[in-house]
Amino acid sequence: MTRLKSGVFAVVALAAGAFALGGFSTTSSTPFISAAHAQEVEVDTSTIVEMVQGAEDAPVTLIEYASYTCPHCARFHADGYKKLKAEFIDTGKVKFVYREVYFDRYGLWASMIARCGGTEKFFGITDLLFTDQSHWARAGDPAAIAEELRKIGKLAGLENTQLDACLQDGTKAQTLVAWYQENATADNVQATPSFVLNGTKVDNQPYADMKALIEAELGS
């Protein structure tokens, strides 16, 4: 169980007042709890699936903490991540775990879109979200951003009904926020992207330096 902290929830919770998200109105009746009430709510985070690539028994585990609205994260996924995948993940040397960070509500919405297709589509949608980040994240008001996120979901093969169900799942959103809090607190994550390499926190750095750290863990 994780106790939701009102300060974090104030950042990611949907703002009060009407806002249509594909027919979903974020009024006081929304399943998203208020920040004031959040501090009294405990959430079971065991239902959240870890998004993993690579061999389960790989000798090195690398966890990335990233926000879909973080430009530095988008840059890493455009370059360093692709090299990491080709050299270490696909070759069975690194088990890669991707964990979302929610600094704002748009990052939370993007996460709900990415997870909407399950583990099979998650990394593909993540790639689309980062590739198109400069467009959807700056689309304008919340309704416009939500619509651009829906377009990405549909581009990945998700149906409107499926997207509606995912975006309206207040319990899932609430649980994701608690899950993020739990992980970020445990690993002392304060910025994105951040990494945990075989249990040791590693800050964002050029891929060549990251590669050297991984090779040291591999003993090569």
pLDDT in tens, 47-59: 999 999 999 999 9
Q: Is the pLDDT of residue 8 over 70?
A: no
pLDDT in tens, 20-43: 333 333 332 333 333 334 445 688
Distance (Å, whole) CA 49 – CA 129 = 19
pLDDT in tens, 69-116: 999 999 999 999 999 999 999 999 999 999 999 989 999 999 999 999
Mean pLDDT of the chain: 85
Which whole number is the average pLDDT over 120-147? 95
Distance (Å, whole) CA 220 – CA 216 = 6
Which whole number is the average pLDDT over 187-193? 94
| Residue 13 CB neighbours (<10 A) | 23
